[in-house]
Structure 1
Amino acid sequence: METFPGQCDFGCAQEKIEFPIVFGGTFSPPHKGHLHVLHSCRELFPSSRILVVPSYHTPFKSISEMMPFQERMRLLELAMEDYKDIYPDDNMQGIDVSDIEKNAGKQIATYQLLEMLRRRIDPDGSCGNEFKFGFAIGDDILEKLDKWANPDYLRKHVRFIVFRRILAEASHLAEMRSRLAQEGFDAYYADNDIMEASSTSISQRALTNGRFSEITSSPDDDMLTPRVRGELSKMRDWL
């Protein structure tokens, strides 16, 4: 689980400044695409602490589409073991998996999650109101960013680290970037390779087939890491 430093370690809104980075998602299940984003964060911000935070619930999926929280935590722990094998040069210092959303026991908004983390990282408030988080997202949700709860908080306290997930037209991406900048959102756009995989497509196949052990032919299968695949092969459908 995560451990928090005794002093403020927040950054500010400069280009590629080092600040705590939150990588959230359902991770139902975690796959190589998630690890690729994590490693890309490490390469872009080598001194930043990274918190991998599985969502307790999300408005984008129903409860029936998600594994129980503790199972996802277990799979993430296994994925982190596989990360060491896939990226052996990364000592993983400063990477932690956090179960902080479990304590809420319900769906919480991004700004609420960041406030919970802020209170743990800076319990005495020594950073004042000038703290900043990095928050990793995919470019497939850029168009929805202004619909997130408390956008003013996000504008002030978040630098979005945007990773490519879709092969969108350059003009469309430029338009989205321009609009977000005009709306006051702070973002850094990564020029990463696109890895075509999603937890949704993998879990939907499980729902169709009934058992993860029957998944053998989909391109998504190659995106499962060995330890995660092994654990999933033992699990029955969570419904």
Structure 2
Amino acid sequence: MKIGLMGGSFDPVHAGHLRAAEEISEKLELDEVVFIPALISPHKSSETMTDSSHRLNMLNLSIKANPHFRISDMELRREPPSYTVDTLRSLNRSNLEDRHYFIMGSELFAEIDTWKDFAELFNYSSFVVLRRPGYDVPDSASLIPLALKNDFRYSYSDKGMDVFAHTSSNELFFVDITGIRVSSTEVRELASRGNSLRYLVVPEVEEYIAGNGLYQLEEKL
């Protein structure tokens, strides 16, 4: 199977996450996309993250109508912090026949050389870097960290997508998407002011946030 992987805090999951997953699923003809919420992101303080049970519940509410989306709680069950390389190693060991495609934004990919064991990441999965409208993204090759440039070679371009081959036989995709300009930070700020979240999150998540009083007392980073 061709399986997309989308990690993150999902605090909360919003329309931008869902639309990106849907577009990449179509463009790369993925069989499914798995959302993997982090228990504690190594780049964020645990004090700024909403309890994982709430984040997991909101994910379930958001994806229940899409049979090609599912959730893995593997990082929630593992000792923190949630390192992507550990997740990919585990998936690679347990699913030898599957091909994985880790989906991330270009702003995160630009910092990938700060991640734990970053050079190993591409041995376990292909990577899909999202190019959203309105973001100043340089040419794709310039985004590849200097320490990794010798591991990649340009392969082809097609319909808003540049592809580079990795020495492991995995691939690195830079893909143009429609994109929805919203962030979890913006959703939290709107919720804290009691503003409508309509069209930014699914209706069930807006109701869940209001019903559980999330994001009301303190600003989340």
Q: Indicate the SS of the match to 1:137.
A: strand
Is residue 2:93 matched to residue 1:119? yes
Q: What's the TM-score, normalizing by structure 1?
A: 0.72
Match of 2:75 in 1: 101
2:187 alignment counterpart? 202
Between the two proteins, the alignment pairs up a number of residues equal to 198
Q: Does 1:139 align with 2:122?
A: no
Change in CA separation of 1:44 and 1:179 when aligned onto 2, cut-off 3 Å:
farther
One of 44, 51, 59 as aligned partner of 1:76 = 59
Runs of 4+ in structure 1 over 6 Å off: none
User: Once the 2 structures are TM-superposed, how far is the Cα of residue 198 of structure 1 from its aligned partner?
Assistant: 0.8
How far 1:35 sits from its partner (Å)?
Answer: 0.6
CA contact (8 A) 2:113 2:145 kept: no
1:227 counterpart (174, 188, 204): 204
Give CA-to-partner distance per residue, 1:195-231, whole Å, 9 cap, x none. Answer: 111112222444x54xxxx123xxx653121111011
Provide the rounded CA distance (Å) in 1 between the counterparts of 2:135 and 2:30: 31
User: 2:205 and 2:121 mapped to 1: Cα distance?
Assistant: 33
CA distances 1:34-68 after superposition (whole Å, capped 9, x unpaired): 11011012202224332111111112222232111
Q: Contact conserved, 1:215 with 1:221, CA < 8 A, in 2? A: no
* Structure 2: unaligned runs, 5 residues or longer: 153-170
Distance 2:99 2:146 in 1: 21
Query: Is the 8 Å Cα contact of residues 202 and 221 (structure 1) preserved in structure 2?
Result: no
CA separation in 2, counterparts of 1:187 and 1:176? 11
> Is the alpha carbon distance of 1:230 and 1:45 closer, same or farther for their aligned partners in structure 2, counting shifts above 3 Å?
same
- Distance in 2 (CA, whole Å) between partners of 1:60 and 1:170 is 22
- The structure-2 alpha-carbon separation of the partners of 1:171 and 1:24, relative to structure 1 and needing over 3 Å to count, comes to closer
**If each structure's helix is expressed as a fraction of its own residues, which one has the higher value?**
1
Q: Can you list the C-alpha shifts for 1:67-101, whole angstroms capped at 9, x where unaligned?
A: 111111110010013xx3xxxxxx624x3211111
- Within the candidate set 189, 205, 213, 1:236 is matched to 213
CA RMSD, 1 decimal: 2.6
| Residues 105 and 70 of structure 1: CA distance in aligned 2, closer, same or farther (over 3 Å) | farther
Q: Tell me which residue corresponds to 1:188.
A: 173
Q: In the alignment, what sits opposite 2:67?
A: 92
CA distance in 1, matches of 2:100, 2:204: 31
Query: Structure 1 counterpart of 2:33, which letter?
Result: I
- Distance 1:194-1:174 versus aligned 2 partners, 3 A rule: farther
The residue type paired with residue 57 of structure 2 is: R
2:192 equivalent to 1:215: no
- The one-letter code of the counterpart of 1:133 is H
Conserved? CA contact 1:136–1:163, under 8 Å: yes
CA pair 203-152 structure 1, distance change in 2 beyond 3 A: same
- How far does residue 107 in structure 1 lie from its aligned partner after superposition? 1.1
Paired with 2:73 and 2:104, the residues of 1 have a C-alpha distance of 19
Percent of pairs with identical residues: 22
The residue aligned with 1:160 is 127
Alignment partner for residue 118 of structure 2, among 137, 151, 156? 151
